Amino acid sequence: MSRTIPRAYVTAAWSNNKVTAEDQARKYCRELVKAGYLPLCPILAFSGIISEEDPDGEKKRREMSEDLLRRARFLVVCGKKINDDVKADISLAKHYKVIPTTLEGVLECGE
């Protein structure tokens, strides 16, 4: 019998620098994988998929991100900063009954 790997939606107050944000996201996702979670990280999942020139691109990213969040068991807030995007993710998580936690909380529970 195979076990189901818990899905963890990854959010943070991402840097405006795309390269820096993606590097940080990969770091957070690696930590979650080591802890036994399947990271769902929109900043990585949709990178290079939706054109920056697409006038509906932001709306598409939001909709797909929300779909990933609904499928997750946990919302993992990474980093020390909380911005409006993170607050919106936390609000959606509560609405969809997804458990909000921090990366530190996940890693401490795994020890």
Condensed to tens digits (0 to 9), the pLDDT of residues 18-34 reads 999 999 999 999 999 99
Burial 45-68 (b: 16+ CB within 10 A, else e): eeeeeeeeeeeeeeeebeeebbeb
Tens of pLDDT, residues 39-79: 999 999 998 888 778 889 889 999 999 999 999 999 999 99
pTM comes to: 0.91
Residues in Cβ contact with 32 at an 8 Å cutoff, skipping those fewer than 6 apart: 8, 10, 38, 39, 76, 103, 106
**Confidence category of residue 111, pLDDT binned at 50, 70, 90:** low
| pLDDT over threshold 90, residue 3 | no
Tens of pLDDT, residues 80-106: 999 999 999 999 999 999 999 999 888
Per-residue model confidence (pLDDT) at position 69: 98
Under 8 Å between Cβ of 41 and 25: yes
- Break the chain into its structural domains and give their ranges: 7-110
Per-residue model confidence (pLDDT) at position 44: 95
Q: Which CATH architecture has domain 7-110?
A: 3-Layer(aba) Sandwich (3.40)
Report the 10 Å Cβ neighbour count for 99.
13
